[in-house]
Amino acid sequence: MPSSLSWIEVDAAAISCNLRKFRQLLPDECKLMAVVKGEGYGHGRQEVAQIALGAGADWLGVFNLGEAAALRQAGIEAPILTLGYVPQADLAEALQLNVQLTVSSLETVEAAARAAAQTGQKAYLHLKLETGTYRLGLPETDLPAVADLLADDDNLVLQGAHTHYANIEDTTEHDYARDQLDRFRKLLAQLRARGFAVALPHTACSAAAILFPETYFAMVRVGIGMYGLWPSKETYLSAQQKGQDPLHLQPAMTWKTRVAQVKQVAAGVYIGYGCSYRTTRVTRLAILPVGYANGYDRLLSNRGHVLIHGARAQIRGRVCMNLCMVDVTDIPEVQLEDEVVLLGRQQEEQITAEQMASWAQTIHYEIITRADPQAPRVVLSSADTGASA
Ligand SMILES: Cc1ncc(COP(=O)(O)O)c(C=O)c1O
């Protein structure tokens, strides 16, 4: 097997530790779902699922059935919920895989009833209720028809009801989220008034789990926090304003590559496509075999930094499809094949996902989720990281 030009190290102890911190926030009876969609937010779906279950997660949350099927194929038997859309043609397969389904339209509930009749398996459904995010979610006007259908078909079990907040991370004013919570409560009450027990209502993502115990219901769905990142600065500020002890979350991802060439170039030469950077001094460049095809965003051109020998080296010129160039003039010890940290810590220096996100004009969720999809994920145990968790 040829060596990988870029790889992602995943700190298992950090994920376990972060998850346990969320567990400590919850009442004993409240279930904890580890959200592993988006390839485990870029950390590796199966790897994270196994770590999270080992650290006490009760459920796994994925987006689509393909992700759920892969987890089942890997031998994972824990409860799995698809949080996204499963096409009607795949519902029978979902039931055979013992995967619970988020449903958010009358047509999908009808199709689930057909799949249940066809397979002879009950369909365990979580109704996603529209409360104001206006993406997937059952409009209130469709609730009576769905409730009729659920009541009439013994093969359909309304196991859960859930919703997702539109404006909880981006602000320190949480009126919109509170309105959504009120709407959710009313819709849940309507379902219960119709005689549905709804064993598992759930609304909380990481920010809600950190800030608002009233959002917990029977389960919380934790993504970003488990990977060691605060949902946002605003969430951190809100927690401080409420006088909460800060959760010390530990980022779990380190993205690495190796120097592919070192060369000295004259003052006044242009570096890379478009001649967007001109050297102002005799410059030592290190060429790195990572580019936008690897999720290393082109907006990092002439803006981002990497870490080599524990020091920052700035990107010079444009990030190419498979390569980028960094200035190592002030790090004279750099040599061919030296290890480079694109994201994460090296000695005393750190490039955070938040910092990379600000360079790339996006959010840290996108940075970690898009980190080189082809790169191997290498899970480090506590023995590798020296952690005592
Ligand atoms: C429906 C749903 N629940 C939970 C989460 C987890 O959110 P977070 O990563 O902010 O914890 C997500 C993430 O986007 C989601 O879409």
Atom of ligand 1 minimally distant from the CA of 227: 9
Q: Is the pLDDT at 87 greater than 50, yes or no?
A: yes
Our answer on whether the CB atom of 219 is closer than 6 Å to any ligand 1 atom is no
* Average pLDDT taken over every residue of the chain: 97
Q: Assign 46 a pLDDT band (cuts: 50, 70, 90).
A: very high
pLDDT for residue 159: 98
Task: Decide: 329 and 318 in contact? Cβ < 8 Å.
Answer: no
Q: Is the pLDDT at 28 greater than 50, yes or no?
A: yes
Q: Assign 230 a pLDDT band (cuts: 50, 70, 90).
A: very high
Per-residue tokens: 148: 């009729």
Mean pLDDT of 234-248: 94
Q: What is the pLDDT of residues 283-301, one digit of tens each?
A: 999 999 999 999 999 999 9
Query: For residues 220 and 344, what is the distance between their CA atoms, to the nearest angstrom?
Result: 27
Catalytic residue selected from 186, 242, 263, 273: 273
Active site residue 37: yes
Active site residue 273: yes
Mean pLDDT of 74-100: 98
pLDDT for residue 386: 64
- Lowest-pLDDT range, 93-97, 189-193, 242-246, 366-370? 242-246
Q: How many Å lie between the centroid of ligand 1 and the Cα of residue 53?
A: 18
Catalytic residue selected from 31, 37, 128, 256: 37
Our answer on whether the CB atom of 161 is closer than 6 Å to any ligand 1 atom is no
pTM greater than 0.85: yes
Q: Is the pLDDT at 160 greater than 60, yes or no?
A: yes
Atom of ligand 1 minimally distant from the CA of 225: 11
Our answer on whether the CB atom of 326 is closer than 6 Å to any ligand 1 atom is no
Q: Assign 204 a pLDDT band (cuts: 50, 70, 90).
A: very high
Q: Which of 64, 61, 69, 231 is nearest to 160 (CA)?
A: 61
Q: Which long-range contacts (CB under 8 A, 24 or more apart) does 231-235 make?
A: 231/168, 231/169, 231/205, 231/206, 231/207, 232/169, 232/170, 232/207, 232/363, 233/354, 234/169, 234/170, 234/171, 234/172, 235/168, 235/169, 235/206, 235/207, 235/210, 235/211
Q: How many Å lie between the centroid of ligand 1 and the Cα of residue 83?
A: 9
Domains of the chain: 12-241 (3.20.20.10), 253-385 (2.40.37.10)
pLDDT for residue 1: 84
Mean pLDDT of 191-212: 97
Q: How many Å lie between the centroid of ligand 1 and the Cα of residue 35?
A: 7
Mean pLDDT of 259-283: 98
Q: How many Å lie between the centroid of ligand 1 and the Cα of residue 75?
A: 24
Q: Please, is 243 exposed, middle or buried when counting C-beta atoms within 10 Å of its C-beta (0-12, 13-18, 19+)?
A: exposed
Residue 55 DSSP label:
T
pLDDT for residue 389: 44
Q: Which of 343, 347, 275 is nearest to 305 (CA)?
A: 343
Q: Which of 178, 240, 183, 246 is nearest to 214 (CA)?
A: 178
